[in-house]
Each structure stands twice: as structure tokens, then as C-alpha cells.
Amino acid sequence: EPEVTQTPSHQVTQMGQEVILRCVPISNHLYFYWYRQILGQKVEFLVSFYNNEISEKSEIFDDQFSVERPDGSNFTLKIRSTKLEDSAMYFCASSEAGLGDASGRNEQFFGPGTRLTVL
Amino acid sequence: DAKTTQPTSMDCAEGRAANLPCNHSTISGNEYVYWYRQIHSQGPQYIIHGLKNNETNEMASLIITEDRKSSTLILPHATLRDTAVYYCIVRVFYNQGGKLIFGQGTELSVKP
């Protein structure tokens, strides 16, 4: 069964450093998402991406964050200058269709996550 | 999006049906009910969704009341692997961004 994969599984970085989290969505999916979960807290939406542009972003997704689909398979989340409060699990997700698109299935499939630790 | 209310935690005996309730009294006509679950430290997993009719798939059944103000997710024969946090999410179908808004969910413990 196809699945979303994420690398690395765990990333440790120093405050102020740049990190890139990588995701390989399911191959025929067109919509991509990043969420994060701080330890013990709720899963929070960060950003959605379709047709090579951001569809929606949350207040968390400030200028320090960016997303990119550099090729036909990868979807990345970059944090330019990490802060201590960026420590969290970051989940990538993808869906065949968006919630506004009735042409396909719109349930989101999540990857296993990358645990980011900022020291 | 409509707000949902779920019990914080529930227990269920292995092999028995787990019935997880969700209240969404402010749901509007174009909002769907989605259920996801998160097994400890893993990514959320889609279970099922519906608008007003009851739905069933290989994982679970979703029962939505006639007034759509509440729903119940049913795991017919719970196993230890079903221990997880279950999220009820009410979502407008037509939304460009497609974001899911997770609440605190119900922590289901399946016990031997």
C-alpha cells in the first residue's frame, strides 16, 4: 500500500540554524500539507500546497518557514532560523484531491513524522 | 468550522465494540464529519467520513444522528492495536486549503 515517507526521522539542530524536513507524498496525490505537534499538545496545521503554490497557511507559518516541491516527488519544509519553540513532531500529509475538489478522494494520508529538537 | 466535543478518555475490552461519541451541535448543512486517529507518536490516520448517511468501511462504522448534531464512531471488535487518540473533525467540504483542525480527541484504551 502506498504511503507517505519522511526523512529524517529525528533531527537535532542548534538554535538559529536552518533545517530542511523532507517528505515524499503518495505518487498520484496533488495536495500536500505540513502539520506539527508539540509534545503533549494538539496536532496543528501549518500549510497546504497545491499546483506549486501555497493554498492556505496558519499564523504559525511565518516568514521563517517555507515550502517547496523541488522535483516531482519531494515536498520540503524549511525553517530558516530555528527557535527553541520549533521543537516538535512535523508531519507531512498528502491527498488525492482537496476538500474543494470532488474529483477524487480528499482524505489526507500522513507520514510517520520528523522529530525536530532545537537545542 | 463547527466545534466538536468528545470525551477525554474511554476504555474498552478487547473484542468488544468501541463506541466513540462526538457532539457537533453547531454543524451546518455543508459540513462533513471526519474521523482520524493517532496511535502514539505516529502520524494521524484517516478512518472514515460522512455527511448525513451512516457509513461503513473496513475499519469502522460512522453513525450520524438525523439532526446531525452528534455522531458515533464504532470499532466493531476492538483490538489492542486500536489503542489511540481518536479525533472527530467537522469540516466544510468545499474549502480550498483543506486544512484539518484537530481538537484534543478521545484517548481510547483497549484492555485485554
Per-residue pLDDT at B78 exceeds 60: yes
B49/chain A closest Cα distance in angstroms = 9
Question: Measured between CB atoms, which of A45, A89, A112 is closest to B100?
Answer: A45
Q: Kindly list the residues from chain B whose CB atom is less than 8 angstroms away from the CB atom of residue A99.
A: 91-98
Q: What is the mean pLDDT of residues A78-85?
A: 97
How remote is the C-alpha of A111 from its chain's centroid?
Answer: 9
The nearest alpha carbon in chain B to A54 belongs to: B97
Residues of B in contact with A45 (CB under 8 A): 99-101
- The candidate with the shortest Cα–Cα distance to A26, out of A76, A91, A86, A96, is A96
Residues of B (29-48) whose Cβ lies below 8 Å from A: 34, 38, 41-46
CA distance A111 to A113: 5
- pLDDT value, residue A103: 52
CB A75 within 8 A of CB A25: yes
Residue A92 pLDDT: 98
Stretch A99-115: mean pLDDT, rounded? 78
pLDDT of A67 higher than 70: yes
